[in-house]
Amino acid sequence: MYTVYVLINAKVGMEETVRKELARMSNVTRTDLLMGNYDDLAIVEGADLDTLLGGILQRVRAMPGVEKTETLVAREEIPTATTTSSPRSPFRLRKKE
């Protein structure tokens, strides 16, 4: 399972509209309104990185109200005290032999 974080700059007044549209997209597991350099965050998950980076991101960039995106691909998932690593993650931690 791959996780991709999409940071989005929206046109003024379109932040909530963009977030609601993101929430309707397949593979988007979470959307947040942000304060700071970016307006919206979409967390996208899927088994095929090419599909995530291709079709889904093209749809995000083509959405009305989206001015700019920055895409971050998670390289490794490190469990914390309150979470566990997904067994489906291609980057899950492995014990050294």
Whether 78 maps to a domain, the answer reads no
In what side-by-side order are the strands of the sheet with 2-10? 28-33, 40-46, 2-10, 66-73
CATH label of the domain that carries residue 68: 3.30.70.920
Whether 92 maps to a domain, the answer reads no
The domain in which residue 24 lies consists of 2-73
What pLDDT does residue 96 have? Answer: 44
Whether 93 maps to a domain, the answer reads no
Whether 88 maps to a domain, the answer reads no
Structural domains counted in the chain: 1
pLDDT tens, residue order, the chain (97 aa): 899 999 999 999 998 899 999 999 989 999 999 999 999 999 999 888 888 888 888 899 999 999 999 999 998 877 777 765 555 555 454 444 4
Whether 19 maps to a domain, the answer reads yes
- DSSP-assigned beta bridge partners for residue 74: none
* Closest of 32, 62, 26 to residue 6, by C-alpha: 32
What pLDDT does residue 1 have? Answer: 85
Whether 81 maps to a domain, the answer reads no
